[in-house]
């Protein structure tokens, strides 16, 4: 299942549906409230940690599971590292 979520998130980042995480984003965390995860499309239940990520250029913050946030953040760091090596 984790590999499937990784693939969904990478696809969303490549298509631009999910923006790369930059140093300027604001992060808020709390208990889930049934919102749909912006990354994987699954419900964020009350037993889940919900992160809200505000990039400043989206009208509404993205809501996601803790694990989905970790994957997005990791993908951004990996992409930045690959781009630096190509320069």
DSSP secondary structure of 11-47: HHHHHTSSPPP-TT-EEEEEE--SPBPTTT--B--TT
pLDDT surpasses 70 at 81 = no
Residue 17 pLDDT: 86
Over residues 14-62, the pLDDT tens digits come to 898 888 777 778 889 999 999 999 999 999 999 999 999 887 765 678 9
Residue 67 has what pLDDT? Answer: 92
- pTM for this prediction: 0.79
Q: CA 21, CA 17: separation in Å to the nearest integer? A: 12
pLDDT for 1 equals: 56
């Amino acid at each position: 299942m984790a590999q499937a979520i990784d693939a969904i998130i990478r696809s969303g980042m490549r298509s631009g549906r999910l923006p790369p995480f930059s140093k300027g984003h604001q992060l808020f965390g709390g208990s889930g409230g049934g919102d749909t995860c912006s990354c994987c499309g699954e419900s964020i239940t009350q037993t889940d940690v919900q992160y809200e990520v505000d990039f400043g250029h989206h009208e509404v913050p993205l809501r996601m599971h803790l694990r989905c946030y970790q994957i997005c953040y990791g993908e951004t760091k990996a992409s930045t590292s690959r781009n630096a090596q190509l320069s």
